[in-house]
Every structure is written in C-alpha cells, then in structure tokens.
Amino acid sequence: MNPMLNIATRAARQAGRVLLRHFDRADQLAVHDKGRNDFVTEVDRAAEAAIVNELRGKYPSHAILAEESGQHGDGETVWIIDPLDGTTNYLHGFPQFAVSIGLKHRGKLELGLVYNPLSEEMFTAVRGQGAHLNDRRLRVGKRPGLDGALIGTGFPFRDQKYMDRYLGMLRAIMQEAAGIRRPGSASLDLAYVAAGRLDGFWELGLAPWDLAGGAVLIAEAGGTVTDLAGGGNFLHTGNLVAGNLKVHQAMLGRIRPFLDETLPA
C-alpha cells in the first residue's frame, strides 16, 4: 500500500472507533451550533484530533486543513479532513456518516479516502493507481445518460440563497432520472458514485473537506468531477457535478440554464 494511504487509513480507523463508541448515545452529546443547520459535537473534535495526531506523528511538515480546527501549518502538501461527514445524521442515529480524508500536493488532489465505520467499508484512491473498496477495484457505472439513472444530491442547507435555482436543477434532473437520493453525507455519496451505486451526484455549497476525498475516488474509478460549468474549480467554489462521462454531461446540460454571474460555477 502507498505509505501515505497506509497512514491515512490508520488515522481513519482510529477516528471511526471514536465515532462508534459514542453512536449509541449520540442523543446525549453536547451540541454546538456553527451556523444555520451546521453542528459540532465533542465527538467531531475527538475524531479529528485522532486523525491530526496520526498524521502529525508521521508527517510533521505537512499542512492540515480540518473542518473543526481549521488550518494547521502551511506548505505544498495539505491533508484535508472531515472527521464526521454527516453530523446531523449521526446525532439522530441515522446510519449514514463517514470519515473523509484527502491529500493535495502543489494544488492537485493526490489521495482520497472515505471510511464508513458502521459497514467497515474503506474507499481509497491514489492518483494514477485506481480506486478500491477494501481490496476490490472500483469503476463508475456504465449508464449512458439520465434515463434510468439513480442520482445523489444534497440540499444547500448552510446557505439557502441559491435554493430556488437548486430546486430548478432538481426538477430538471428528476424529470429524466429514475430516482434522486439525498442521504446526507456528501463524501459517502461521492464514494457511491465511484462504486457505481449512484450514477451521478451534484451539490452546491460544499466545503473542501466534504469533497476532497470523494473527488479522487471518482476520478480514479474512471469518472468525471467538475464544477457546475464543467471546469476544475469545484474545490474552490464548493459546487460540484460528478458521474461517468455521459451522465456527467447530461447533468451539466440540465444545470446550465440555472447558472448566471451571481452563482459561482
């Protein structure tokens, strides 16, 4: 295994153990508001500390961008961490949440990992080396378009100023796809695209830690990940469309009418 992926996998498992220890009593946790519909608990922080400590111990010169504690250090190599993607699900006992870790070097995403501790599914990818679920190689689905496709999405829950346009996109895609799913953990949704469980995915207003790990998975599984205009600016804007090439192009076509200069692609 790639040595950096080995360390990331170890860190994710440690965070997963923290999450599982508290999952059965999540309704008793102290919850703090970070913003509208955006929450943090001591479990988020403990899981993040487990990841940061593992990475820091092996790669002390690397920078870290973590959801709860922010930026640690500076440099060409940056670990991008979400210790608990799906906090609202977790707090309600809804079994859909994950640990997400990405690695960016000189501006390029090089490594991605999404770990579901409940199912013990470890989705991993290293640029140029393919994507895997545990020991099985992953490929995106072969759906030739939106007809019959199962598409994942996420509502723009933090900032709802684009809600009307998002609902227009939802309506346009829903009219052609076989179904739409919104499970509530973007990193797992992206991992499911890489595994062919979802044919495509789009969302507005994601943070880098929501999508860094999953974007590498999809690219290494043969899929396409872009911003809403088909460019590569998704890590900056937080607006993302993903799928195999044909589904991705079909989704872009349905989304394009709702874009203008006020909605960053």
Going by pLDDT thresholds of 50, 70 and 90, the confidence category of residue 162 is: confident
Q: How far is it, in rounded angstroms, from Cα 246 to Cα 14?
A: 38
The mean pLDDT of the chain is 93
CB contact at 8 A, 225 and 197:
no
**Quick one: average pLDDT of 83-103?**
94
Model pLDDT for residues 196-254, shown as the tens digit of each residue: 999 999 999 999 999 999 999 999 999 999 999 999 999 999 999 999 999 999 999 99
Domains belonging to the chain, first-starting first, are: 3-137 (3.30.540.10), 150-258 (3.40.190.80)
- pTM for the structure as a whole: 0.94
69 vs 154, residue with greater confidence? 154
